[in-house]
Structure 1
Amino acid sequence: MQSQGALGWIEQSALAEAMRTGLWTYPIVEIVHIVGFVLLVGSVAMFDLRLLGLGKALSVQALGRHLLRWTLLSLVLVVPAGLLMFSAHPSDFLGNPVFLLKLVLILLAGLNALLFHARVYRGAAEWDVGAEPPAAAKSHALVSLFTWIAVISCGRLLAYT
């Protein structure tokens, strides 16, 4: 486990050692990570399903404001827990194509969300309640749903690769 540079420093840190050797440390952190992902993907999926036409009586803008809080809260759980798990075996994770794919997919999901909010969502007042969201909104929602399902799949496959 003698790696060079930053990865070596991470792998040899007391935190990484605690993650590797504590009987319950890694499993508890992993549970926190999963709970965070449930909140993240659950809130995103509810919004995406609204964009796909489910619950047209609900205001897109009000739903977005409500769910955004949950999405942001989820990041408080997901990101630190993910970094803690990464610290236990950084070289193994970075050498795993499934982990690298997961990172690329997370980046894609974030980029998709940024583009949606920067472009399509600016006109949400026109299709807020009762109206059919535009095709661009539906496209972003489909990309979001499929990307997050792929992220979850990669996370699960990490246990087997």
Structure 2
Amino acid sequence: MMGADLLEGIGALPFAVAIRRSATLYIFVNAAHILSIGIIIGSILPLDLRLIGLLGKVPVEVIGPFLSRAAAVGVALAAATGFCLFSVNPLEYAGNAAFLAKMTLLAVGVANAVLLQLTPQWRAAVQGGPLSLRVRLSAWVSLVIWTGAVVAGRWIGFLLE
């Protein structure tokens, strides 16, 4: 767990205090977080399904770069809005098993995506080449990881007391 002083400092940030004091602001930040998750899943799911061999007629060279960028935007927005939500009660979240699982899954999901994009197999796929075993396995891992992150995210509220 993060140090208590750091967590208390996060909770004292001006935007954290503002969100805590305003139910309306909290609703908008939460809605933005949900929207960003929708962007992530709405980008990653169809891309992964195409990479594992479903949606076979959709050219990877067309959707791969676009959906990858859309997912990256979703991740950036989710990280920003998620940090705002975390800041409302950081001590509680830092000890929440579901929150920790979600953070771990997010880190693994981002690492999987970045590592894939650095491979020659990915570059070949987005240039119209074959979908290698490496690309397909990464897509399967991605499906499992991002689905797990959504489930863990929903689980968080059930573990907060």
What is the CA distance between 1:74 and its match in structure 2? 1.7
Shift of 1:123: 2.6
Which amino acid is the alignment partner of residue 144 of structure 2? F
Q: Is 1:31 equivalent to 2:53 in the alignment?
A: no
Alignment of structure 1 residues 78-117 onto 2, 5 Å: 78-117=78-117
State the shift of 1:4 in Å: 4.6
The alpha-carbon deviation at position 114 of structure 1 amounts to 1.7
Structure 1 residue 137: deviation in Å?
A: 1.6
Partner secondary structure for residue 24 of structure 1: helix
TM-score (norm 2): 0.87
CA distance in 2 between partners of 1:12 and 1:115 (Å)? 36
For structure 2, the residue ranges without an aligned partner over 5 or more in a row are none
> What value does the CA root-mean-square deviation take over the aligned residues?
1.9
The CA deviation string for residues 106-155 of structure 1, in whole angstroms up to 9 with x for no partner, is 111111112211223033267x37x6x22222111110011000000011
Give the unaligned 5+ runs of structure 1.
Answer: none
In the alignment, which residue of structure 2 is the partner of 1:138? 136
Is structure 2 residue 150 aligned with structure 1 residue 149? Answer: no
What per-residue deviation string (whole Å, max 9, x for no partner) do you get for residues 1-31 of structure 1?
xx95222222123322222121212122111
Moved more, 136-145 or 7-16: 7-16
- Asked if the contact 2:4–2:91 (Cα under 8 Å) also holds between the matched residues in 1, the reply is no
Q: In structure 1, how many angstroms separate the alpha carbons of the residues matched to 2:126 and 2:29?
A: 40
1:67-100 C-alpha deviation (Å, 9 max, x unpaired) = 1332233234212111110110111111111111
TM-score by length of 1: 0.87
One-letter code of the match for 1:151? A
Q: Are the equivalent residues in 1 in contact too, given 2:39–2:70 (CA < 8 A)?
A: yes
How many residue pairs get matched? 156
Q: Secondary structure at the match of 2:58?
A: coil
| Partner SS state of residue 56, structure 1 | coil
Tell me how far apart the structure 2 counterparts of residues 68 and 56 of structure 1 sit (CA, whole Å): 18
